[in-house]
Structure 1
């Protein structure tokens, strides 16, 4: 399978009860418009996934990711606007330095209570609710999932840990 390789990071507050999320609200043609998401993006050809995750966090939030913990991987066949396959490396970012920006050219940044994210009270991809409990688990285990998409919606979810 050919896929776009990406990172997705969840920057935690010092108390770990909030997560820094982007609300994609600057471009109405954005596939993610109006949704909250973690920080991240496509990997550059010359970088490893940790370097790419750190770069994306610096670009999107203006902070340095001092520690990144692999939460898991997800294969998203058919996720892209034109049915492209995506493969993502998901990270928790429990240690960082600097002062987060208020936003960037993709959207505004907000500290969201993790409990609200897990309870489905934050507008995001409906499918994120399947894997976010694994990302924010009290005793996390690295997971590897597959979430096929069709017509803009997840059609199934499976994973192993």
Structure 2
């Protein structure tokens, strides 16, 4: 399967009770138009997933991400506007620095209570409610999911959880 590689990051507020979301409302052709979503987007050629996630968050909201934590992966066959397949790497970002942008090119930045997100009180794609409890779990474990789409709607959801706690990503020196 060929897929568009993308990242989705959830920047956590220092209070641990809120997450930074984008209320997508600037482009009517956006598949997330009118919904709240995490920050992220497509990887650029030659870019690793952590660099891509950091770039997207910096471009969309301003902060520099430190020690992102991989929450899981999701295969989204048929998700794209024209039925493209997407593969997403989801991150929790508990450590960051810098200031939020006053303006976001994708919509409005909103600190949102995680409890409201998990309770379904925030306008989000219905399909997000399947994986967000895994992203925001009190004791998170790395998960790998599949969520096929047909005509813009998720048709199923399945996932596996690893047996250990998700590890922090650390940066290493390039291989010789």
1:98 to 2:98 alignment: yes
Q: Please give the per-residue CA displacement for 1:39-97, whole angstroms capped at 9, x wherever unaligned.
A: 00000111110111111111111110012000000000000000000000000000000
Instruction: Give 1:30 shift.
Output: 1.5
Q: C-alpha root-mean-square deviation of aligned residues, in Å?
A: 0.7
Residue 32 of structure 1 aligns to a residue in which SS?
coil
TM-score with structure 2 setting the length: 0.90
Specify the alignment match of 2:42 in structure 1: 42
CA distance in 2, matches of 1:120, 1:158: 20
TM-score with structure 1 setting the length: 0.98
CA distance in 1, matches of 2:103, 2:139: 31
Gaps of 5+ in 2: 162-176
CA distance in 1, matches of 2:75, 2:30: 21
1:107 to 2:111 alignment: no
Aligned residues: 161
Larger Rg: 2
1:24 to 2:24 alignment: yes
CA distance in 2, matches of 1:100, 1:16: 17
Q: Post-superposition, which runs of at least 4 consecutive aligned residues in structure 1 deviate over 4 A?
A: none
Specify the alignment match of 2:121 in structure 1: 121
